[in-house]
């Protein structure tokens, strides 16, 4: 690849500015190890469901139509934030842990994804005891950590090699916890009681981060929650004639976004505590909330014409119906997903995820900044280019 002198100098200055913000053994991340739910799942749920023949909506078109041109188990029309992260770091798309073969037959040298659509931070028993159901999966963050330990025991032959692998990887811890709130809110559980979930969920995330550090993780990204008050599923469920409950600029429900911000504040406080406990570990907060809110606040700036209305759904003011899945015979899908932020009412489009990833990788939506030495951008093709 030939650089002009001016371009090469600009690119060098860009790298120098970012290199100073972090470090990792060997200079760059060798793999991505991921945990989470449908915001990060690259195919685990559909593979787990094959044995039971359970219906998974991400296994049918139009899921995957934009980039892959077929369903991959990703809950979007195309790529997710984790896919753009891998692309920016020169790594392949992160393999789902359940890839159709036994772990001993596969190589996770460049990454492994334990995220499962529908997964919660808290164990399924917590919800069962409260009459809250998870019809998607029994998997929780604890389950994913057990899979991680099983994989590591067969993947690397000595503890030192396991630590070396994890230490040279970037660990993506979620987003996780969103479903804990989704199931409760959308099944009518009292808001006051859901608020009491937050410290428990934060403690579970912190415990998982602590465990991964003990296993050798040196760089961990911990995302906050998205603004759920802008989600078509929530906007439909909590629709009200009281206009004072909506942000007049975005159309989002203020009290639900306040709830997301409450979760995020507690999470950031806990990450500060972990940084003090582990000063030699880079613990990065990924501000999914504000990286997304800029799209709702200035949609035309980022090429969006539709913000809170879903591209694919079952009709209604927000094109969302909890009884009509995207991809079912009764649903409709928009002609141009790239002009929509919302994909199916609960998840975002590839176009939205691309801009969010751009804000995380280039700044300012991570604290501290992701190590720029490991972020490759061709001078001719930036991440945000279409």
Do 29 and 361 contact (CB within 8 A), yes or no?
no
E strand segments, the chain: 31-35, 111-113, 169-173, 219-223, 282-286, 312-313, 332-333, 366-367
- Reported residue count of the chain is 386
Closest residue by Cα to residue 39 from 265, 236, 292: 292
Q: Which positions are catalytic?
A: 38, 344, 347
Q: At what angle do helices 288-297 and 254-277 cross, to 10 degrees?
A: 150
Q: 66's torsion region: left (phi>0), alpha (psi -120 to 50) or beta?
A: alpha
Calculate the alpha carbon distances from 194 to 45, 199, 223, 263, 295 in Å.
26, 10, 20, 11, 27
Q: What is the H or E stretch that residue 226 is in?
A: none
In the structure encoding, which two tokens stand for residue 27, read together? 């200079």
- Give SS3 for 248: coil
Separation CA 52–CA 135 (nearest Å): 13
For residue 334, how far is the Cα from the chain centroid? Answer: 23
Return d(Cα 177, Cα 181) in angstroms, integer. 7
Pick the closest to residue 34 from 167, 169, 161 (CA basis). 169
Q: Alpha carbon 90 to chain centroid distance? A: 19
């Amino acid at each position: 690849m030939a650089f002009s002198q001016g371009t090469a100098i600009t690119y060098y200055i860009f790298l120098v500015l970012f290199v100073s913000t972090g470090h990792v053994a060997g200079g760059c991340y060798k793999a991505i190890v991921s945990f989470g739910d449908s915001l990060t799942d690259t195919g685990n749920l559909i593979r787990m469901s094959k044995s039971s023949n359970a219906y998974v909506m991400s296994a049918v078109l139009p899921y995957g139509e934009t980039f892959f041109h077929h369903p991959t188990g990703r809950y979007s029309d195309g790529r997710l934030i984790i896919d753009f992260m891998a692309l920016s770091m020169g790594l392949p798309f992160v393999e789902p842990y359940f890839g159709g073969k036994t772990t001993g037959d596969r190589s996770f040298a460049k990454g492994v994804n334990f995220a499962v659509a529908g997964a919660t931070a808290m164990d399924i028993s917590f919800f069962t005891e409260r009459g809250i159901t998870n019809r998607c999966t029994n998997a929780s963050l604890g389950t994913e950590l057990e899979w991680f330990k099983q994989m590591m025991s067969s993947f690397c032959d000595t503890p030192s090699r396991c630590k070396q692998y994890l230490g040279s990887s970037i660990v993506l811890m979620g987003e996780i916890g969103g479903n804990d709130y989704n199931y409760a809110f959308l099944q009518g559980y009292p808001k006051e009681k859901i608020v009491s979930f937050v410290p428990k969920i934060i403690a579970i995330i912190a415990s998982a981060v602590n465990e991964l550090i003990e296993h050798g993780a040196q760089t961990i990204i911990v995302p906050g929650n998205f603004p759920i008050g802008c989600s078509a599923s929530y906007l439909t469920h909590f629709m009200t004639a009281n206009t004072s409950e909506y942000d007049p600029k975005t159309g989002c429900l203020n009290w639900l976004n306040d709830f997301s911000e409450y979760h995020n504040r507690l999470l950031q406080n806990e990450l500060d505590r972990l940084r003090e406990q582990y000063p030699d570990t880079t613990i990065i907060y990924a501000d999914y909330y504000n990286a997304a809110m800029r799209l709702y606040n200035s949609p035309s700036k980022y090429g969006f014409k539709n913000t809170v209305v879903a591209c694919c759904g079952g009709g209604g003011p927000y094109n969302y119906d909890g009884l009509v899945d995207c991809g079912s015979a009764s649903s409709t899908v928009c002609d141009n997903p790239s002009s929509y932020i919302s994909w199916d009412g609960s998840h975002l489009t590839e176009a939205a995820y691309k801009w969010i990833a751009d804000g995380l990788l280039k700044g300012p939506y991570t604290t501290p900044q992701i190590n720029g030495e490991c972020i490759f951008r061709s001078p001719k093709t930036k991440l945000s280019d279409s």
